[in-house]
Amino acid sequence: MDVKTKYKAKKIKAIFFDIDDTLRIKDTGYMPESIKKVFAALKKKGIITGLASGRALYGVVPEIKALQPDYFVTINGAYVVDSKGQEIYTDALPVEVIEKYVAWCHDVGIEFGFAGGQKPAVSKRVDLVDNAISPVYGQCDVEPDFYKHSAVYHMWTFEDQGDILQLSDELLKDVRLVRWHPNSSDVIKNGISKASGVAHVLEKLGLEPENVLVFGDGPNDMELFDYAGLSVAMGNGDEALKNKADFVTKTVEEDGILYALEELGLVEKELHFPQTELTSVEGPVATIKTNHGDLKIKLFPNHAPKTVANFVALAKDGYYDGVIFHRIIQDFMIQGGDPTGTGMGGSSIYGDRFEDEFSMEVFNLRGALSMANAGPNTNGSQFFIVQNSKLPYAAKELERGGWPAPIAALYAEQGGTPHLDQRHTVFGHLMDEASYQTLDEIAAVETGAQDKPLEDVVILGIDIED
């Protein structure tokens, strides 16, 4: 994410979300648990939340209403209410326009529907109609004359013509088509959009467009993206919308909304520290077999994917077999992985040095497996395991220095090398007491010049359990 986008985020006071395929998957109803956390976190920070949807209020599913958004911009901006149901703005279609539309539908031979303030209606119940509208509103009443006794805020086409279908020139003076389904388009009054609906909310709040962030995925979000100060497209969204967005996030299933808000600094990142819960962490297990015993290590592919892939591939190829730990410093670390045994050699599977992978969730605690390097982004094959058990800092001192409280407590209790954090890639951690005993035994060997053991400490092989 670029600096300009993060700067825009500092002005955000309200966030509006599309529903279908943004907050939840329309076809399956799946909504990530992270969405609940997002709304709670935004409310805690005093950021206004709202929905901006093509759905009518009666089509907003219970789990979305349970998020308790402050505003509902519904029916593509034609019907806007607050959290108490008080109308802020409504704009129904003129009856004469609806009559022209119904006549046109009969002429071109397609079915049609209406979005009223309290319920929807359709001209006929056939598979083509139900396949489009039922996932949103369930089975709709068949009332082709619905508009004669109820206000209509937008209409639908039901057909299999796609974008080939075009309104008559006369209708285009009043309404436009916005495709939302392979068999249906919204028929929206000109001048009405999600953007106009949000604008009415901002007017009530005394806010400007630059104070609004919007999330969306489809063509009916286009005007909203043009209007808002900051726009985020879902990773599963329409390509044209992505091209218009300030930022493209991950998909719904990948917690795309939470990810974007964390990156923008609008929601605190929820950190998980695998070194505090090794038994439940997913990832390969490496067992480094040495002539002093085994070192069993849980690897962290989610935090250092390129580094773990490099280590695993080299291990499986036998690259480390017979290689020594060439540098050992008691109360610091043991270092190996260089086939030359000098500390000057070794190469990665990528054919060159590769970049660091730093994370604020893994640290150089006692027992950490980290990459040795010769400066930023110079990783090859060499690695070290932190052995230090004595730390001259209290947990509170480390917290004041920026370390997360759980990690500061572990450092104070178990030891480690915090001065190496964000300088060396941490990609694994010792798993059991026997491994720590082996680590301490290796660290205690007698060494000579350049901290090289007088008797070789040899890697006999590395087993990988995927």
CA–CA separation, 167 and 165 (whole Å): 7
Give the residue from 364, 286, 264 showing the smallest Cα distance to 47: 264
Residues whose CB is less than 8 angstroms from the CB of residue 126 and which lie 6 or more positions away in sequence, other chains included: 111, 158
The bridge status of strand 293-299 relative to strand 327-329 is: unpaired
Give the residue from 254, 236, 359, 235 showing the smallest Cα distance to 307: 359
User: What is the token pair recorded at 8?
Assistant: 């825009």
User: What is the token pair recorded at 94?
Assistant: 């003129």
352 is catalytic: no
CA–CA separation, 66 and 81 (whole Å): 16
Are 287 and 297 a contacting pair, CB within 8 Å?
yes
**In degrees to the nearest 10, what's the CA dihedral of 248, 250, 255, 258?**
-30
CA–CA separation, 360 and 358 (whole Å): 7
Are 435 and 294 a contacting pair, CB within 8 Å?
yes
Are 371 and 420 a contacting pair, CB within 8 Å?
no
* Among 18, 174, 338, 356, the one annotated catalytic: 18
Residues forming the active site: 18
